[in-house]
Amino acid sequence: MKKLVVFLTALFFVFTAFAHGPTPQKVQKSVKIAASPATVWAVVKDFDNANKWLPFVSDIKIETKGEEKFRTLTLKKGGKVLEKLKGIDDDLMKIKFEIVEGDVPVADCNMYITVTKGANDNESEVQWTARFYRVYKLNPPIPEGQDDESALNAMNSVVDAALPELKKLIESQK
């Protein structure tokens, strides 16, 4: 909850698509889920209904433009995030998406989630990776909330909140 508050506090700062420093930041976390990879993948790949396991999201709106698909996440504490689906690979069990714009203090944020088989047929591992930059790209002093740490805190909060919720959702379906 505390991490979620940190994330939501950080939402005051506006995302800027073309501004970032030289070092991409990385958040990579995983969770083990007691269910088959096929069961887990069916939930993870469902881009349109991810609000079921994104606890900080109050509403999700899907839009398609030609072949491209987008979702707008309305955040519980206010603000929105527009994300674009970049690909679903059923063979690799990998979904890729990016933040187009939104109330998150990151720039150029690309993410992917993979599902792999765990120790037995009824165990899976879900790994979420995000690659992004801070908002401010110039020399120090860096404005508060636009530094690497703020970007990392925000994305850590997202993943830390989402993965346990995904686990809970799938394991309670059984």
Partner 1 sequence: MINISLKIFLILSFILNLSGCKNSTLALITNQGDDTVSVVNLDDLEVIKTLQTDEGPLGVEFIDTNHAVISNTKSQTLQVINLNNLEITNRIELGFTPLGMVSIKKEKRLYVSSWYENKIYLFDTQSWKQLLQIEVAKTPSGLAYNTKQGLLICANRDENIATIIKDNKILKTIKTGEHPFGVYTRDDQAFTVNVYSNNITQIDLNNFSSKEIKSGSHPYNMVIHKNKIFITNTQDDTLSVINKTTQELIVNLKTQEVPENIGIDETNNQLVITNWGSNTISIFDLNTLKLIKHIKTGKESRAFGNFIWPKR
Q: By CB under 8 A, name the binding residues for partner 1.
A: 18, 21-24, 26, 28, 86, 96, 110, 112, 129, 131, 137-139
**Closest distance of CB 59 from partner 1, Å:** 28
Tell me whether residue 89 or residue 171 sits nearer to partner 1 (CB atom).
89
Tell me whether residue 45 or residue 80 sits nearer to partner 1 (CB atom).
45
Beta-ladder partners of 87: 96
Report the alpha-carbon distance of residue 123 to residue 33 in Å, rounded. 6
**Closest distance of CB 23 from partner 1, Å:** 6
CA distance readout (Å), 171 to 18, 65, 167: 40, 35, 6
- Can you tell me whether residue 126 is helix, strand or coil? strand
**Six token digits for residue 44:** 């993870």
**Closest distance of CB 138 from partner 1, Å:** 7
Number of CB atoms found within 10 A of residue 37's CB: 20
Tell me whether residue 13 or residue 112 sits nearer to partner 1 (CB atom).
112
